Chains A and B, each alone.
Chain A
């Protein structure tokens, strides 16, 4: 099992560009999450999903959109990137209790 995978691993964007981060899990988990990690801030929840076709806002949702069209995939979109969105993005999945994390995507917005 690959667990939780994220694509891409690195990306550089210019202000105003858009992009989509892909998260995939092969553990048949119902719950999936997107976090951002910034120095000294820990992990902050952006959006999450409790099942296929559902999404909900987390702690810092502004500037991001998500979709969960298939149970195994959770997409995070940036419609118009801003320098404040420079961060490391982590995806996680869970069946109950423990969350399992992907390796992260390092995004830089110039």
Chain B
């Protein structure tokens, strides 16, 4: 079985500061990894994904994530955040099954303060 742990439920930061949202996963097989963002009262939007190849993945809105197989982590980073980045962020894993099911973490609420 696969599982996802998002280590911080809330992360407050000031505008223009760097941020890292942490995600660890457990799976006995190769994985596909995703980060989604949810703005208030909206659905989830894909930020970035790791399927294979380079372990550093770049996504939309200046976010990037690094896949670390030895540490089973997929942390999300942004060097300088904006007020508009305030949202909930979800890490998700798929173990490559043919049904493409995702297991989600419980989410990290990023609050960017002026």
A interface, CB within 8 angstroms of B: 4, 31, 33, 40-45, 48, 50, 56, 58, 90, 92, 94, 96-104
Contacts and interface: CB of A to CB of B under 8 A. Distances in A.
Interface of B: 9, 32, 34, 36, 42-46, 49, 51, 90, 94, 98-107
Given A31-B100, A97-B94, A40 B46 contact: no
A101 B34 contact: no
Given A97-B32, A98-B34, A45 B105 contact: no
Contacts of B44: 43, 90, 92, 101
Contact of A56 (B32, B99, B100, B106): B99
B101 A45 contact: yes
Given A42-B105, A42-B106, A99-B100, 17 more contacts: A33-B101, A33-B102, A40-B107, A42-B107, A45-B101, A45-B103, A50-B98, A50-B99, A56-B99, A98-B46, A98-B49, A99-B46, A99-B102, A100-B46, A101-B43, A102-B43, A104-B42
